[in-house]
Chain A
Amino acid sequence: MTAIMEAPPAEEKAPRRVALRPGAWIVWGSVVFFLLILLGVVGAVVVNSFGRKWFGGWLPKGWTTHWYGATWKEFDLSGVLTVTLEVALAVVVVSVLVGVPAAYALARRNFPGKRVLMVAFLLPILIPPITYGVPLATVLYKFHLAGRLSGVILANLVPAVPFVILVMTPFIEQIDPKIEAAARMCGARTRVIFTRILGPLLIPGMLAAAILVLVRTVGMFELTFLTAGADSQTLVVALYYSVSAAGIRAQQETDAMAVIYTLSMLVLLVAALRFVNPTQLVTQIKERD
């Protein structure tokens, strides 16, 4: 077995033939089918948001951008977007500040009770938000924190901090501890080690974690929904309320808001994909070609 595996890798560098077997056809066919459905789902919303009137028929009768202005004014979207931004940034900053030191300790030390602690950090990710959201909202209402910006931020931190710890722990594990030891040998104090040795090494991981937390927070519906008051709604929650208020307002206004939401999420995701390779979050094996 080992003899065969150690055989020289006979890699052919020639470009691969494009000859698809039936299995490949089925796979790619279903991918295309999925993407077509997706295009239909997104396209229907986008087309409707620009449509003047659309009752039956392939396309609306006439086009307009009126709904964007209307939805912006009626739902006070500038206020909603400000709240969304405030919540997301606060959650990112606090979760990184709390999560990264914890991840460092978890990556570098083995101590009694570590497994229990890891489970405690995993649970908020494993349990659906509604399950702990209901008791959490009850507690936050008891302390008069819910219904305000601070309550929304606190609730959103619950899955964010463990997420940062989960992403950062393997990242810190792969940084060689000898670097720190060497710096200490050369007389660096703890503060210097953190600011000048570990800090620069940690920045890519922190950036990745921060962007992922940002995407998750902007998209987090349940926790914000349970804790938000009238003036602390984020974009998703405002979108949900506008859907359930359908009938009073034009459908197109809701769709215009949905398009705004998707565009902002898309910008975030494209930014995230520039820094994070999503397929290497779990295992980091060097890709051989």
Chain B
Amino acid sequence: MAAAPAVARPRISLRHRLAERGVDRTLLLLLPAVVFVVALFIYPFVYGLQLSFQPQAGSDAANKYGTGPFADYRLFFSDPYLRNTIWTTLKIGLPAALFNVLASVPIAYRMRGRFRGKRAVTTILVVPITLGTVLTAEGLLAFMGPTGWLNRILLDLGIVDHPVRLTHNYWGVVFSLVITGFPFAFLLTLSYLTGIDPTLERAAATLGAGWWQRFRHITLPLLAPGLAITFCLSFVLAFSVFPSAIMVGEPARQTRVISIAAFHAAFEQYDYSMASAIAMIMGAVELIVIGLVLGWRARLYKGATGGKG
């Protein structure tokens, strides 16, 4: 009889010790989400990863490089038509993301204070998010096409002699990325900017700093970490460009981005291991870029963007 509490004690104390480190029954609430992420994200990812090391019999990769584990990757990096999709994607995604972030800074800077109609202007700038890539592409084809309004205006004003080709090439895709990506970058930048304590800038003003000095030495350093995040998210959006690259781009050559290659391998050649290999390469390239940006960010100001002085 006397043994019962002695047995029970270590159990209770273990529970207490766990609770002290924050492990208690509340964590059970996490269970559905964890099961979910493991089943629908991590498992497919790992499955794809191992599939990419098992070249499908009869596929191009297996015919050329045998059924060794790296045949798909070797084919990808030796075939210029596949390999160059990386550069094509970066060439479209990086400038578009960079432009979206850089353009949103001055506009958000203008709009950080309070003024009449701010909500209306914000709403109008955010509307393009609703357009979606497909409508944007459709609109670009109609608006910037050879007989579209834009070319008509340029011709009538005498700026050009013959219609400028802005669709079905590199520029069409970049335009579509700017139209869909800019509102997003703008929203994030604006929210980071409004998070910076305005009294800091006023303090600098009382010390005689001009607007450029205030921006350069007060606002920008506080904003830079947020800008790095904004750039990363814009880049993710731009990097996965898919429908617009097909519709307003030139999917066979100039805008054959890596997602087109992955889709082509999976659903036109039914070579799932090659498709997984391309998807893994795509993820790796993207994570490298994000890693570089965030690594650079880690060297900046580390506190919260609130900047409480």
Contact = CB atoms under 8 A, between A and B. Distances in A.
A261 interface: yes
B242 A221 contact: yes
B30 A123 contact: no
Contacts of A279: 122, 187, 190-191, 194
17 contacts: A5-B309, A40-B139, A45-B135, A58-B152, A109-B26, A121-B33, A126-B232, A134-B276, A134-B279, A138-B51, A157-B36, A215-B129, A221-B132, A243-B137, A261-B132, A269-B129, A278-B126
A211 interface: no
Contacts of B129: 215, 219, 269
Contacts of A285: 194-195, 197, 306
A95 B69 CA distance: 37
A16 B267 CA distance: 59
Interface string A109-138: 111100001001101101111111111111
Contacts of B138: 45, 243, 254-255, 258
Interface string B14-39: 00000001111011011011101100
Given A135-B48, A243-B137, A44 B148 contact: yes
Contacts of B240: 128-131, 222
B40 A157 contact: yes
Contacts of A128: 236-237, 239-240, 259, 282-283, 286
A87 interface: no
A161 to B, nearest CB: 6
Contact of B286 (A4, A97, A127, A268): A127
Contacts of B171: none
B134 A27 contact: no
A131 B279 contact: yes
Interface string B112-127: 0011000001111111
B135 A262 contact: yes
B37 A124 contact: yes
Contacts of B26: 104-105, 108-109
A179 interface: no
B134 A221 contact: yes
Contact of B194 (A9, A165, A280): A280
Interface stretch (A28-36, A64-72, A201-209): A28-36
A102 B114 contact: no
A42 B143 CA distance: 8
B150 to A, nearest CB: 6
Contact of A38 (B36, B128, B133): B128
A239 interface: yes
A243 B137 CA distance: 10
Contacts of A254: 138
A174 interface: no
A112 B27 CA distance: 11
A48 B106 CA distance: 35
A273 B286 contact: no
Contacts of A31: 107, 121, 125
A219 B259 CA distance: 18
A229 interface: no
B301 interface: no
A265 B41 contact: no
Nearest to B190: A279
Interface of B: 21-24, 26-27, 29-30, 32-34, 36-37, 40-45, 47-49, 51, 103, 106-107, 110, 114-115, 121-140, 142-143, 147-150, 152, 179, 182, 187-188, 190-192, 194-195, 197-200, 202-203, 206-207, 226, 232, 236-237, 239-240, 242-243, 246-247, 259, 262-263, 266-267, 272, 275-276, 278-280, 282-283, 286-287, 290, 304-306, 309
Contact of B33 (A34, A43, A161, A282): A161
A131 B276 CA distance: 8
Contact of A278 (B49, B121, B191): B191
A19 B33 CA distance: 53
A265 B192 contact: no
Given A127-B236, A131-B279, A283 B29 contact: no
A24 interface: yes
A260 to B, nearest CB: 10
A192 interface: no
The 7 nearest A-B residue pairs measured at CB: A135-B48, A128-B240, A283-B195, A41-B139, A102-B33, A44-B142, A265-B130
A33 to B, nearest CB: 11
Contacts of B242: 130, 221-222
Contact of B42 (A101, A120, A258): A120
B44 A261 contact: no
Contacts of A221: 132-134, 242-243
B244 to A, nearest CB: 10
A63 interface: no
A104 B30 CA distance: 8
